[in-house]
Amino acid sequence: MEADPGLAAGHSDDERRRLRRLVSALRAHGGVGAVATLCHADMPDVDGVVLTVDAAHAGRIILSDSGPHGDQLEDLHAVLGEGPCIDAVVTAVPVMADDLARPHARVNWPRFAEHAPARAIRAVFAHPVLAGDRLIGVLSAYRADAGSLTAAEREQLGRYATAAAVVLLDHTPVHRAGGLDLVLPARAGEVQQAVGVVMELAGVDAPTALHRLRDYARRSARPMQDVVAEVRTCRLPFDPSAVP
């Protein structure tokens, strides 16, 4: 385990032991897909946890999700082009937005701060997932009510972000240029197939197609996985060419 990135340098012996146990637990539960579920279990006061990565041609996609509004959180970031998760990508440091109604949030992310509460998102805590000095993803927690994370919760989120980097690289080749050839978990792969169907039928790019899937799921109060399953089998429950 000493060869695992992120576990050898910059951590105390006790912290390395905690990280080894956490990485082992994630691997035992299936790897990257278990990150959000286990992190949420260790942070029960948040409403959801989401792990996203940049899949290059497809944009940012969800690899692990625990909670009711993960797709909406990511859709807001993608459509509005602003928000705590985007800042975490740009700065590669944690971004803690404990109340989107505060002036700081409204100045930094005016549209995100306006629209997120309508999606039952009032606080967002975004932690970069780093492999060495390369940012490969973002691990985010959110809740419907304002309020900061405790020191222990911040440590836990950071610990899971470090462990997520390790399991992400378990089966993910790295290009010479530093990029990743992501091996998508089943759910993420199915979403990408559905995105491809909408792209072909509507003549739109991948981010727009993904937004239309998520927007329909939100407006119809249907689980995203149900919408994806129908679209993949060409039983489209909505007109993909209609602009939401």
Query: What CATH number has the domain spanning 13-168?
Result: 3.30.450.40
- Pair of tokens at residue 166: 């390790």
Q: What is the reported pLDDT for 107?
A: 96
Asked if 92 and 112 count as a contact pair (C-beta separation under 8 A), the reply is no
Question: Which DSSP string do the residues of 117-180 spell out, in sequence order?
Answer: GGGT--EEEEEEEEETTEEEEEEEEEESS--PPPHHHHHHHHHHHHHHHHHHTSS--B-TTS-B
Looking at residue 237, the DSSP 8-state letter turns out to be S
How sure is the predictor about 209, in pLDDT bands with cuts at 50, 70 and 90?
A: confident
Section 213-217 average pLDDT: 84
Q: What is the reported pLDDT for 7?
A: 59
- The domain spans of the chain are 13-168, 186-232
Asked if 205 and 69 count as a contact pair (C-beta separation under 8 A), the reply is no
Question: What does the alpha-carbon distance between residue 48 and residue 37 come to, in Å, rounded to a whole number?
Answer: 9
Q: What is the reported pLDDT for 40?
A: 98
Contacts of 155 (CB under 8 A, 6+ apart): none
Q: Helix (H, G, I), strand (E, B), or coil: what is residue 20? A: helix
Contacts of 55 (CB under 8 A, 6+ apart): 61, 182, 184, 192
Question: What does the alpha-carbon distance between residue 115 and residue 141 come to, in Å, rounded to a whole number?
Answer: 17
Q: What is the reported pLDDT for 223?
A: 78
Q: What is the reported pLDDT for 2?
A: 42
Residue 57 or residue 215, greater confidence = 215
* pLDDT over 80 (residue 241): no
* pLDDT over 90 (residue 179): no
For 125, half-sphere exposure in the C-beta direction (CA atoms, 13 angstrom radius) is 28
Average pLDDT, the chain: 86
Q: What is the reported pLDDT for 1?
A: 39
The closest alpha carbon to 63, from 231, 187, 159, 229, belongs to: 187
Q: Which of 5-9, 26-30, 233-237 has the highest mean pLDDT?
A: 26-30
* pLDDT over 90 (residue 162): yes
Asked if 67 and 74 count as a contact pair (C-beta separation under 8 A), the reply is no
Section 42-49 average pLDDT: 97
Asked if 182 and 137 count as a contact pair (C-beta separation under 8 A), the reply is no
Helix and strand tally (H, E) in the chain? 10, 5
- Calculated CA dihedral for residues 73, 76, 77, 78, nearest 10 degrees: 120
pTM, 2 dp: 0.78
